[in-house]
């Protein structure tokens, strides 16, 4: 079942890429001084969730159904992350409002800012946090990462489904 093994390798790559994106965000925050907004922090949560789901799929590699479910869940999470990145770019970063957003409510409801403030504490308004890196706003870099992760996870799921039909 070579497609199963390849699908698991794709999940390993997705987990590694998600952790790498988180590391870049933390580097930008703690070394470069670029403070995150609530939407940035929400996207960090989604990258972390994708990494955990992909690791779960890798650990359950003996169960094709579980690997498939993890790939599909990673794809769904990537779509949610892409929606958050688009919202940040197209709406939140253009607003001067300091109102409590959906992202703020999620962070506060789960007490993420208290559990791991070094990762989940948002202290910048969205219109100041979406700064360009190499001429491209952070939210668009995040969107690109989510789209690549979603494409890879969907590809792994397709491989598993295709291989099952031919088995």
Per-residue pLDDT reduced to its tens digit, 87-136: 999 988 887 665 678 888 888 888 888 888 888 888 887 777 777 778 88
pTM score of the predicted model: 0.90
> Could you tell me the pLDDT band of residue 77, with boundaries at 50, 70 and 90?
very high
Of 149, 138, 151, the residue nearest 39 (C-alpha): 138
Domain 2-166 has CATH 1.20.1550.10: yes
Instruction: Give the C-alpha separation, 23 to 18, whole Å.
Output: 9
Give the dihedral of Cα atoms 148, 153, 156, 160; nearest 10 deg: -160
pLDDT at 116 (0 to 100): 87
> Could you tell me the pLDDT band of residue 41, with boundaries at 50, 70 and 90?
very high
Of 41, 31, 18, the residue nearest 145 (C-alpha): 18
Domain map (residue ranges) of the chain: 2-166
Of 68, 56, 44, 53, the residue nearest 157 (C-alpha): 68
């Amino acid at each position: 079942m070579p497609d199963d093994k390849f699908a698991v390798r794709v999940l390993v790559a997705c987990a590694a890429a998600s952790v790498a994106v988180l590391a870049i965000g933390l580097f930008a925050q703690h070394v470069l001084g670029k403070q995150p907004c609530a939407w940035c922090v929400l996207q960090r949560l989604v990258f972390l969730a994708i990494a955990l789901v992909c690791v779960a799929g890798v650990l359950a590699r003996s169960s094709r159904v579980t690997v498939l479910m993890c790939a599909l869940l990673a794809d769904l999470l990537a779509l949610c992350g892409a929606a958050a990145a688009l919202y940040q770019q197209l709406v939140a970063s253009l607003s001067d409002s300091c109102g409590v957003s959906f992202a703020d409510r999620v962070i506060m409801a789960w007490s993420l800012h208290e559990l791991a403030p070094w990762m989940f504490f948002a202290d910048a308004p969205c219109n100041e946090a979406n700064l360009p890196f190499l001429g491209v706003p952070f939210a668009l870099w995040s969107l690109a990462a989510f789209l690549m992760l979603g494409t890879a996870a969907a590809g792994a799921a397709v491989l598993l489904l295709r291989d099952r039909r031919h088995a």
